[in-house]
């Protein structure tokens, strides 16, 4: 009696959750392609927004201000100038008002985030809370990486936004209990290791070290959990060494946020792929 009741209840919730919170990307091939194109466009749009936000945060401007303006002539840009990628190509990389060259940095990040959004969706294979959380995270990581690269500081506002997006998306996860417990364990482990490492390096170098990278890693581990966290830590350490070498060769302050961000994104994407691979394994061997 109890067993039958339990079975029915589980099946009911299982179906309800599967219907409302997860949609296989290629169930209808046309819709799959459409969603991938849409993901690219959204990536480009959000990149355009977040590069501008990072720029304003670094310069201590109000990030909620209206339209941005040309850095050379100061003319406020119209809506037609603000289409990601398209406006840049149509205006041949020049300001419509003064004709000065606009650096291609924003264009490059718009294309990159577009590709990253599309790639994340393809790798993940389903539209669900996890993929939405990853996309939000990618936008915020681009913003804080640019801010850190330009100013040498990881703004707390971005870290707060990451925490808020975790709190909002966590409720939509199918296996919420495992997700939260794993995330907290990973965050605690990495937080302790990085805080000690930062303190030790600070003592050796006899200088005040920033705990920004530690705080960032703690926030990201909540999303990554244990499997993703291990992949991210490995990728992040490799990227950290590369960024340290690059920054030293350019004689500039070392920015670790981009390295940590790239590590986290690698972890998030590969974690999905690994889980998908493991889940599809029985069907692969039986068919």
Which residues here bind Zn ion, judged by CB under 5 A? 70, 72-73, 95, 97-98
Nearer to Zn ion, 69 or 174 (CB): 69
Task: Provide the 8-state DSSP code for 75.
Answer: P
**161 and 140 Cβ atoms separated by less than 8 Å:** yes
Contacts of 74 (CB under 8 A, 6+ apart): none
- Min separation Cβ 47 and Zn ion, Å: 21
**178 and 218 Cβ atoms separated by less than 8 Å:** no
- Min separation Cβ 72 and Zn ion, Å: 5
Collapse the DSSP code of 101 into the 3-class scheme (helix H, G, I; strand E, B; otherwise coil) and give the result.
Answer: strand
- Min separation Cβ 81 and Zn ion, Å: 10
> CA 157, 123, 37: angle at the middle one, nearest 5?
80
Nearer to Zn ion, 33 or 73 (CB): 73
Nearer to Zn ion, 9 or 75 (CB): 75
Nearer to Zn ion, 77 or 126 (CB): 77
Q: Crossing angle, helix 212-249 and helix 176-205, to 10 degrees?
A: 50
**138 and 64 Cβ atoms separated by less than 8 Å:** no
**112 and 47 Cβ atoms separated by less than 8 Å:** yes
- Min separation Cβ 64 and Zn ion, Å: 23
Alpha-carbon distance of 213 to 197, in angstroms, equals 11
- Min separation Cβ 69 and Zn ion, Å: 8
The residue behind tokens 């199918």 is: 174
Structure tokens at 169: 């998306």
- Min separation Cβ 96 and Zn ion, Å: 7
Nearer to Zn ion, 26 or 97 (CB): 97
Nearer to Zn ion, 95 or 118 (CB): 95
């Amino acid at each position: 009696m109890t067993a039958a009741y339990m079975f029915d209840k589980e099946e009911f919730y299982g179906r309800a959750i599967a219907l409302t919170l997860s949609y296989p990307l290629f169930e209808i091939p046309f819709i799959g392609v459409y969603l991938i194109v849409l993901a690219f466009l959204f990536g480009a749009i959000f990149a355009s927004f977040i590069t501008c936000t990072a720029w304003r945060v670094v310069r201590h401007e109000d990030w909620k201000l209206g339209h941005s303006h040309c850095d050379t002539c100061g003319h406020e840009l119209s809506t037609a100038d603000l289409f990601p990628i398209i406006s840049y190509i149509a205006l041949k990389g020049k300001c419509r008002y003064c004709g000065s060259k606009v650096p291609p940095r924003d264009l490059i990040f718009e294309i990159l985030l577009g590709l990253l959004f599309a790639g994340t969706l393809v790798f993940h294979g389903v539209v669900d809370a996890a993929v939405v959380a990853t996309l939000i995270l990618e936008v915020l990581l681009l913003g804080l990486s640019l801010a850190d690269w330009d100013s040498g500081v990881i703004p707390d506002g971005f870290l707060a936004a990451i925490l808020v997006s975790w709190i909002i998306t966590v409720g939509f996860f199918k296996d919420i209990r495992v997700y939260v417990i794993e995330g907290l364990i990973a965050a605690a482990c990495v937080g302790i290791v990085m805080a000690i490492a930062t303190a030790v390096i600070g003592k050796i170098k006899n200088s005040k070290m920033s705990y920004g990278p530690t705080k960032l890693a703690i926030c990201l581990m909540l999303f990554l959990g244990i499997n993703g966290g291990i992949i991210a830590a490995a990728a992040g350490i490799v990227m950290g060494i590369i960024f340290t070498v690059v920054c030293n060769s350019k004689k500039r302050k070392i920015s670790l946020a981009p390295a940590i961000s790239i590590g986290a994104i690698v972890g998030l994407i590969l974690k999905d792929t690994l889980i998908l691979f493991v889940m599809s394994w029985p069907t692969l061997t039986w068919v």
